Amino acid sequence: MGMVRIVRFVRVAGKTHFSWLSQSSHNSCNSHNSHLLQQIMSETNGLMEKVVSLCKRRGFVFPGSEIYGGLANTWDLGPLGTELKNNIFQAWWKFFVQSRKDMMGIDPAILMNPKVWQASGHVDCFNDAQIDCKDCKKRFRADHLIEDALKDVKVEGLSLEDLKKLIDENNIRCPGCGAKNFTEVRKFNLLFQTSIGPTTANSEPVYLRGEIAQGMFVNFKNILNSSRKRVPFGIAAMGKAFRNEITPGNFIFRTLEFELMEFEYFIKEDQWEKQFDYWVKEMKKWLELIGIRKEKTRVREHTEDELSHYSKRTIDIEYETPFGWKELYGLAYRTDFDLKKHQEASGQDMSYLDPETNEKFIPHVLEPTFGLSRTILMVLLSAYDEEEVEDAKGNKEVRTVLRFKPNVAPYKAAILPLMKKPELLKKADAVFDVLKDEFALDFDITGSIGKRYRRQDEIGTPFAITVDFDTLEDQSVTVRDRDSMQQDRVKIAELKDYLKNRV
Ligand code: GAP
């Protein structure tokens, strides 16, 4: 039997407290999905529970296909989640692509020639080790099962047989039903398969991409020839990736389809250590840029056993979630593995000719990779806050605030006419028109002004702009700051600049 490397190529095995989401039917219709949110809320700790509940209540994230009972572990981004995702992506693109001279962005196809995935090693190596409970039919990742049951046991690099032995010798029971009646451990390939056109017995499977990286590698020569970039330079892309995960779960942390942003940075081999350190620093700057709490992150070095087949060195940037320290991002030194493999398999020359030295070589690659879906979760966890405040009558209440950095906040400001009087609505419309070309805005006319402020706090809108009767006289509005709750009176004519200086 082959050896399954539980390696970073897939991800690092980690502790999870959400085994209830590890059902075997993870890619089939789940009639219990309508209870998914309740399940999450009852089985996670307070913070996760509150964030998940807020996401549904305010329109950040909804369970996928909910009216049909859902499809397990699929999630839809609602209006605010979509804005949040787009803002994070745009900030990433600006920081890593547009503001650099050595980076270019592309948008490669999801479907690629299957030979790409054979050459890259995904068909053979993109595996997890799965084990099923024969009694309740639940399916688990064998490494997760062991690591959840036994403290401080390292499973990376163990063979399928060794994983089973560990499970048997330690009397590990099924977290679903408590039985000790498991199948053998088997390799499970994570690539999603589909087919093009009518299928026949001999038709070759086509894969949904498991990472974006291969789209960059196969376009290496196209980019080189069309842009005349010189090494070192990078190619970046974002988009959906698909993995037939055995144990998806923890809300949007591990899903079957997710958004990924990554780039391949092509270098001369002797530069890799210097460049590696440089990119760790840039990744840390990025975390700060989008408001991920520094004290909740750490860098973890991969052990030799964990390294992917292509990697000589890998680090993870981990985040301390309510369900443990988890991988948020990765940085891998992929050497010249991918370009060499594609050169061998395609017969195309993948080398680079240095115009100054006339040296011809296959560039080495550093790959910073950023799960966008995971970023959404960590930005939400970082931003969530509650504080005790007094209402107008001096009663104490809890204010929930998403303290988003303004650059990622779904709305930069909300326009709130004090009352539903036609003259106030008309003026509020005019204020909306003044700002709409430059800022994403909410416009809310329902409920008391206090309730509307709370609603905007809860969705992280940095500024609430109230149009009142004085506005009709003095052409000014009240601007309330989300974090300090301080209010400024600002002339409508100066409003644009006021916001520009603050968001
Ligand atoms: N090209 C390298 C690569 O794909 P990876 O560590 O397997 O590396 C990259 O995945 C990032 O994608 C991870 O750091 C994580 O943020 C995110 N990710 C991986 N699997 C995921 C899943 N099932 N659901 C959500 N995000 C995932």
> Mind giving me the DSSP string for 280-329?
HHHHHHHHHHTT--GGGEEEEEPPGGGS-TT-SEEEEEEEEETTEEEEEE
- What percent of the chain lies above the pLDDT cut of 90? 81
User: Is any ligand 1 atom within 6 A of the Cβ of residue 260?
Assistant: yes
How far apart are alpha carbons 218 and 108 in whole angstroms? 10
pLDDT at position 29 over 70: no
User: Is any ligand 1 atom within 6 A of the Cβ of residue 211?
Assistant: yes
Atom of ligand 1 lying closest to residue 245 CA: 23
Closest C-alpha to ligand 1, atom 20 = 254
How far apart are alpha carbons 76 and 82 in whole angstroms? 9
Task: Ligand 1 pocket test: pick from 127, 207, 211 the residue with the most ligand atoms within 8 Å of its Cβ.
Answer: 211
Confidence of residue 157 (pLDDT cuts 50, 70, 90): confident
Tokens coding 362: 């296959």
CA of 371 relative to ligand 1 center, distance in Å? 6
CA of 103 relative to ligand 1 center, distance in Å? 22
Is residue 463 classed as helix, strand or coil in its secondary structure?
A: strand
User: Is any ligand 1 atom within 6 A of the Cβ of residue 223?
Assistant: no
User: Is any ligand 1 atom within 6 A of the Cβ of residue 319?
Assistant: no
pLDDT at 33: 44
User: Is any ligand 1 atom within 6 A of the Cβ of residue 352?
Assistant: no
For the segment 115-122, the average pLDDT, to the nearest whole number, is 96
How far apart are alpha carbons 176 and 142 in whole angstroms? 14
User: Is any ligand 1 atom within 6 A of the Cβ of residue 371?
Assistant: yes
pLDDT at 308: 83
Straight-line distance from the first to the last Cα atom of the chain, in angstroms, rounded to the nearest whole number: 57
Q: Which helix (H) or strand (E) holds 51?
A: helix 46-58
Q: What is the dihedral of CA 451, 453, 456, 461, to 10 degrees?
A: 180
- What percent of the chain lies above the pLDDT cut of 70? 91
User: Is any ligand 1 atom within 6 A of the Cβ of residue 258?
Assistant: yes
Atom of ligand 1 lying closest to residue 248 CA: 23
Tokens coding 270: 């002797």
CA of 374 relative to ligand 1 center, distance in Å? 9
* pLDDT tens-digit readout, 307-316: 888 899 999 9
Contact present, 163 and 128 (Cβ < 8 Å): no
| DSSP tag of 71 | B
Around Cβ 425, how many Cβ atoms within 10 Å?
15
CA of 132 relative to ligand 1 center, distance in Å? 24
CA of 366 relative to ligand 1 center, distance in Å? 16
> In Å, what is the CA distance from 431 to each residue of 46, 407, 426, 494?
39, 21, 9, 11
Pairwise pLDDT comparison (41 vs 93), residue with the higher score:
93
Task: Compute the half-sphere exposure of residue 481: CA atoms within 13 Å on the CB side of its CA.
Answer: 13
pLDDT at 357: 94
Contact present, 231 and 264 (Cβ < 8 Å): no
pLDDT at position 30 over 60: no
Atom of ligand 1 lying closest to residue 327 CA: 14
Confidence of residue 197 (pLDDT cuts 50, 70, 90): confident
Pairwise pLDDT comparison (32 vs 217), residue with the higher score:
217
Confidence of residue 9 (pLDDT cuts 50, 70, 90): very low
Atom of ligand 1 lying closest to residue 10 CA: 7
CA of 85 relative to ligand 1 center, distance in Å? 16
How far apart are alpha carbons 131 and 160 in whole angstroms? 10
User: Is any ligand 1 atom within 6 A of the Cβ of residue 310?
Assistant: no
pLDDT at 37: 53
How far apart are alpha carbons 461 and 237 in whole angstroms? 29
Tokens coding 7: 């390696």
Confidence of residue 34 (pLDDT cuts 50, 70, 90): very low
* Candidate from 84-98, 190-204, 489-503 with smallest mean pLDDT: 190-204
Total-model pTM: 0.89
Closest C-alpha to ligand 1, atom 4 = 211
Contact present, 87 and 410 (Cβ < 8 Å): yes
Around Cβ 169, how many Cβ atoms within 10 Å?
8
pLDDT at position 23 over 90: no
Which residues does 249 contact at the CB level (< 8 Å), separation at least 6? 16, 18, 20, 21, 22, 73
Contact present, 418 and 468 (Cβ < 8 Å): yes
Contact present, 65 and 225 (Cβ < 8 Å): no
* Candidate from 44-58, 84-98, 99-113 with smallest mean pLDDT: 44-58
* pLDDT tens-digit readout, 352-393: 999 999 999 999 999 999 999 999 999 999 999 999 998 878
CA of 316 relative to ligand 1 center, distance in Å? 11
* pLDDT tens-digit readout, 241-271: 999 998 888 999 999 999 999 999 999 999 9
CA of 254 relative to ligand 1 center, distance in Å? 8
Q: Residue-wise over 90-114: b if at least 16 C-beta within 10 A, else e? A: ebbbebbbeeeeebbebebeeebeb
User: Is any ligand 1 atom within 6 A of the Cβ of residue 329?
Assistant: yes
CA of 51 relative to ligand 1 center, distance in Å? 22
Confidence of residue 45 (pLDDT cuts 50, 70, 90): low
Closest C-alpha to ligand 1, atom 22 = 254
Is residue 17 classed as helix, strand or coil in its secondary structure?
A: coil
* pLDDT tens-digit readout, 294-338: 999 999 999 988 888 889 999 999 999 999 999 999 999 999 999
CA of 441 relative to ligand 1 center, distance in Å? 32
